[in-house]
Amino acid sequence: MSTDLPSFFYNAEVKTWDVIIIGGGIIGLSLAIALRKRGATVLVVERGEPGREASHAAGGMLVDCGLETLSVLQPLATASARMYPEFAQELQFESGMHVDLRDHGTIVFPPPEHVHERPGFTLANLLPVPLAELEPALAEPNRPAFYLKERSVDPRALSTAAWKAAKRHGVDFSSGDEVTEIAVVDGRATGVTTAKTAFQAAKIVNCTGAWSGQIGPHPFPTRPVKGQMLCLLMPQRALLKHVIRTPDVYLIPRSDGRLLVGATVEEAGFDKRTDLATIQRFHRAAVDLVPELRNGKILEDWAGLRPGTPDALPILGATPTHGYYVATGHFRDGILLAPITAEVMAAVIDGHAPEYDLTPFSPERFD
């Protein structure tokens, strides 16, 4: 376009949005849908293809139990777990996909110190029936175990469903385009610059997970925390029903007969390679727990990068730059926390008070 056109004419041709979301992981996608429902026009700018990073690598346990959740995060974790059936149902309806939300609960083999130090907890979570009846395929059915009424979901299906649902709601996408900079004029965010072009909006949200600290002007202290994972095909589709957690490994069955075995928690920078010794260790641990898995097939292994923060809490809210927001740092709980993050962040961006106190998650707590 010629630059000697009158400026009003030039601006009239530039498409703008109410909100630009950087990053199309489960957090960015869920937020895009929530903002569209409030009437905002939304563009998601994604470096690769939506839903292919941490949200693709995750196990999908929806863990909101007090023993494993930081107390300051508990209200959001509980609220999000409660929102899940409706969240999943809506995404399924809007995408025509099945996200495999399962409600069989979790069997936890706790570390010995928990059995001794927290007998009340164990008592409150007694197995509904003996372990041998709950999961006949488990070896050692007499070890101490407790039961959690917890759900799981397939994060890959969930992310693809959220992408489809967002498109159906009229969210625009720019995929394969990396944001390099936030445009700031007079202290106010006005858009984003990408490797290929630039986009304008009055409000920008950084949802780039482990990469959130790489875009200025605020160096959010997120870091990648690598998780390796193994996926098996069970010899019988319903060999295991429950999620199983031990101090060393967890097993997450899917309804189609896949079984996820995970995961490492490693400080390895932006390295997403798996190593054979770790994958073999997972396989041995799975077979030790469920001997029949010896007859299962190894389907694939992978690694993903969780968005970690110094205090292991998410970073949620407005930044000191007017119109620039952040929703990142969900670490090990981003699949669980997607529905509540979308709700509270959509409220904040829309200029309303969120239903929950977000002070502990303020981006300014690291200043």
| Interface ranges with ligand FAD (CB under 6 A) | 22-28, 45-48, 52-55, 57-61, 178-179, 207-211, 215, 227, 229, 262-263, 304, 306-307, 328, 330-336
Task: Tell me whether residue 130 or residue 217 sits nearer to ligand FAD (CB atom).
Answer: 217
Residue 158 C-beta: closest distance to ligand FAD, Å: 10
CA torsion sign for 238, 244, 248, 254 is: positive
Residue 256, SS3 per DSSP: coil
The answer to whether the beta carbons of residues 116 and 91 sit under 8 Å apart is: no
Residue 160 C-beta: closest distance to ligand FAD, Å: 12
Sequence-separated (6 or more) residues with CB below 8 Å from residue 167? 173
Task: Tell me whether residue 45 or residue 290 sits nearer to ligand FAD (CB atom).
Answer: 45
Residue 149 C-beta: closest distance to ligand FAD, Å: 16
Task: Tell me whether residue 36 or residue 151 sits nearer to ligand FAD (CB atom).
Answer: 151
Residue 214 C-beta: closest distance to ligand FAD, Å: 6
Task: Tell me whether residue 290 or residue 338 sits nearer to ligand FAD (CB atom).
Answer: 338
Task: Tell me whether residue 82 or residue 116 sits nearer to ligand FAD (CB atom).
Answer: 82
Residue 20 C-beta: closest distance to ligand FAD, Å: 10
Task: Tell me whether residue 41 or residue 180 sits nearer to ligand FAD (CB atom).
Answer: 180
Question: Which residues in 198-235 are b (16+ Cβ under 10 Å) and which e?
Answer: ebbbbbbbbbbbbbbbebeebebbbbbbbbbbbbbebe
Residue 136 C-beta: closest distance to ligand FAD, Å: 25
Which parts of the chain fold into alpha helices (H)? 7-13, 26-37, 54-57, 74-95, 112-117, 119-124, 131-134, 155-168, 276-289, 334-349
